[in-house]
Amino acid sequence: MASLKRDKGLDNTLKVMKQGYLYTTNQRNRLNTTVFETKALGGKPFVAVTGKEGAEMFYNNDIVQREGMLPKRIVNTLFGKGAIHTIDGKKHIDRKALFMSLMTEGNLNYVRELTRTLWRANTQRMESMDEVNIYRESIVLLTKVGTRWAGVQAPPEEIERIATDMDIMIDSFKGLGGVFKGYKESKNARRRVEDWLEEQIIETRKGNIHPPEGTALYEFAHWEDYLGNPMDSRNCAIDLMNTFRPLIAINRFVSFGLLAMHENPITREKIKSEPDYAYKFSQEVRRYYPFVPFLPGKAKVDIDFQGVTIPAGHGLALDVYGTMHDETLWDDPNEFRPERFEDWDGSPFDLIPQGGGDYWTNHRCAGEWITVIIMEETMKYFAEKVTYDVPEQDLTVDLNSIPGYIKSGFIIKNVHEVVDRK
């Protein structure tokens, strides 16, 4: 077996944060290798892997562990202590079944209807605004979609605050390197949302509030694990939040989607004229633009991979962005081309913006289907139901920054409803 090539340095965390989504690609090119070792997060060794073969290895539960590998700052701000993302084995499979039980045909149809209805209802508000920052506007609207879908009580006057807290938590990825001045703010935002949801869990169990059966609030409040024990109310609140927080993070994809339509005008016409094009367009947005950069794991055993041995106990980093821009998997990966999904085989190991592998046994996001539905309906809305202008602004997407954003957030003006008055 060949020896692992290394990106030298006692701790390359700052280098990772400076190069962002391109760090692993840059090092692979520099070292002329497909797999290499680096040190990060306090000098811990990580082997960076990419591509379909890397994802297949990473999601093999027999040889790779996920539990305990998320950085504490991300656990404390984004996912929550004790969240499903932080456990493995039977406990993970048991709790994942609860998440997956929400993905019924009725619930998926309902989130489609909610998205369609709430965007249409939001038209008049946007028409009255001098300019609309799509990044900000969509996080508020998606907070309405997510909370209503989950069955939680979110008073209209609280939506803005809840949306802001969610955005602060989601933005905590940037705290991976060095001192993060917003860390305390992120923890406080999480505490406020956890307090709010835990109160609803407790009141549901007492019978004081009555969410409909089949909603996330109802199912989580009444769930028992494989030993017959209910979930601790705080932990229940944390995972209840994890049923709809990913829906709110879709605001990144929404702003990216409008940027893609702006830069590729033909796609707007195809969304309006071709029945399945909104689906292909949404998938390409998820593949093309930066979202999750890497995912961490740990080798349970010595792993022989692509001619090298990854020692047991070594950290693993799956290059998510690099996999979705791998030219051996995708033709012209740096071109935005929705048509590539006409013949896509649905592999769980190449399109992995929200994780890969099996939904039931791996850490793949249970809400991925909902993400696609929300994106389809949102893109149809902006292509078909409204017109708007795109003023001069900074539309840069900086791949050296984690998480990825459009610098301006994507601003539109002069929004008008499309009405056929003939």
pLDDT band for 175, please (50, 70, 90 cuts): low
Please give the model's pTM, rounded to 2 decimal places: 0.93
Which residues carry a binding-site annotation for heme? 365
pLDDT top residue among 2 and 404: 404
219-226: long-range contacts (C-beta < 8 A, 24 or more apart)?
Answer: 219/98, 219/101, 219/102, 220/98, 223/98, 225/91, 225/94, 225/95, 226/90, 226/94
CA distance 64 to 358: 14
- pLDDT-derived band at 177 (thresholds 50, 70, 90) equals very low
Sheet holding 294-299, edge to edge: 5-6, 36-40, 44-49, 315-319, 294-299, 64-65
Query: pLDDT value at position 178?
Result: 46
Read off the pLDDT band of 359 (50, 70, 90): low
Region 208-224 average pLDDT: 96
| Distance, CA of 351 to CA of 283 (rounded, Å) | 8
Q: Which CATH class is domain 6-417?
A: mainly alpha
Place of tokens 């020896």: 3
Question: Residue 19's pLDDT band (boundaries 50, 70, 90)?
Answer: very high
pLDDT above 80 for 357: no
Q: Is the peptide bond before 45 cis (omega within 30 degrees of 0)?
A: no
**Cα Dmax for the chain:** 73
Tell me what the pLDDT averaged over the chain comes to. 91
More confident residue, 47 or 357: 47
Give the C-alpha separation, 207 to 33, whole Å.
59
What's the pLDDT score for residue 199?
97
pLDDT of residue 350: 95
**93 vs 64, which has greater pLDDT?**
64
SS3 label, residue 303: strand
- pLDDT band at residue 409, thresholds of 50, 70 and 90? very high
Tokens representing 210 are: 């009555």
Residue list, annotated binding site: 365
Rounded Cα distance, 283 and 170, in Å: 21
Q: Using CA atoms, how far apart are residues 139 and 133, in angstroms rounded to an integer?
A: 10
CA 364 vs CA 59, 246, 369, 415: distances in Å: 9, 12, 11, 37
Angle at 322 between CA 318 and CA 323, to 5 degrees: 70
Domain boundaries, the chain: 6-417
For residue 39, list its beta bridge partners: 45
